[in-house]
Amino acid sequence: MKPGTKIIVVMLGLMLPYMGFVLYRAFTYPQHPFPSWFLYVGPCYFFGSIALLVVLRKRIVGDAPPHDFDKQRRSAAGIEGARRRLKLLWIGAGLYSLIFLNGLRLGLENAGELPLVSIILGEVLNGTILATIIFTLRKVYKRVQQADRLASYR
């Protein structure tokens, strides 16, 4: 099993019990709202699981050989795929920034009705997802620029 597959399996193994609990609670008691402790336990469980995964990553991945990026050559198809991915990431960043701003607007409108902690945690999560998209966008952009520089030297 590849190291990336192992990590995905572990993350799903950590998230599925919590999602199962949420679905059980939602379908069993649809007329009752979630308890107040639910908003605190959920993010703590997810962030704790991710922190545990980061700490135990070396044990999960094992002794997988690291990639030698200096010797790895990119084909023309790989560069074109990266350019396509770059366009899709720009579209995704634009759409998600609209979602982020809409969530911020709704959070401010419903500030009296919703707990402030849930609004803040939701916006922090949205901001983190948007930052991840932007960092991935930068990484792919640098990769395409580097491939273009290498192609111009040839």
Nearest to 134 by CA among 83, 92, 84, 85: 92
pLDDT in tens, the chain (154 residues): 677 777 777 777 777 877 787 778 777 877 777 677 777 777 787 788 778 777 877 776 666 565 544 444 556 667 777 778 888 888 888 888 888 888 888 878 887 887 777 777 778 887 788 888 888 888 888 888 887 777 777 6
Helix or strand (DSSP H, E) at 141: helix 116-153
pTM exceeds 0.75 for this model: no
Token reading at 144: 């395409």
User: What are the sequence ranges of the domains in the chain?
Assistant: 1-66, 74-154
d(CA 147, CA 117): 45
Other residues' Cβ atoms within 10 Å of the Cβ of residue 76 = 9
Other residues' Cβ atoms within 10 Å of the Cβ of residue 116 = 10
